Amino acid sequence: MAVDELDTRILRLLIEQPRTSVREYARILGIARGTLQARIDRLERDGVITGTGPFLSPGALGHPVLAFVHIEVTQGHLDEVGDALAAVPEIIEAFSITGGGDLLTRVAARDNGHLEDVIQRLINLPGVVRTRTEMALRERVPYRLLPLVESVGRSAGAPR
């Protein structure tokens, strides 16, 4: 999916001012509301925009401990373990990976004891061989996509 300069400007607004109306976005960008809506619809259809809504803080929800748990899985059981992970509410994300382990999960916990309980729950899942946990101390770069969007936008505008 090609993202051009206008798409980049639209995505920037959506990221920086998520609660603004489509009419106001169109005014800011100096384009027709229909043009803007067609662009947003295309970005959604092409999977560039995957959702809308608030970003929530696990810490503010009473789960300030963040850990990354690598999970090694018995061969042939990756799908079953992946499905079982979806039933663990403290797992924020889970990815199949290469390298040390088969799955990497991001876990939010109330405290260290709660994290240990979650890890024990993971260890007891059928198909899990072992886990390795790394705790986050401080967020250095928060989740962000705007620099990537801008980089893609610059590349789209560059002569080829």
Q: Per-residue pLDDT tens for 58-115?
A: 999 999 999 999 999 999 999 999 999 999 999 999 999 999 899 999 999 999 999 9
Residue with tokens 């976005």: 25
Helices 22-29 and 33-45, axial angle in degrees (round to 10): 110
Show the beta-strand stretches assigned E in the chain. Answer: 65-73, 91-96, 103-109, 128-135
pTM of the model: 0.84
Q: Using 50, 70 and 90 to split pLDDT, how confident is the model at 48?
A: very high
**Distance between CA 127 and CA 106 in Å, rounded?**
19
Phi and psi at 99, nearest 5°, equal 90, -145
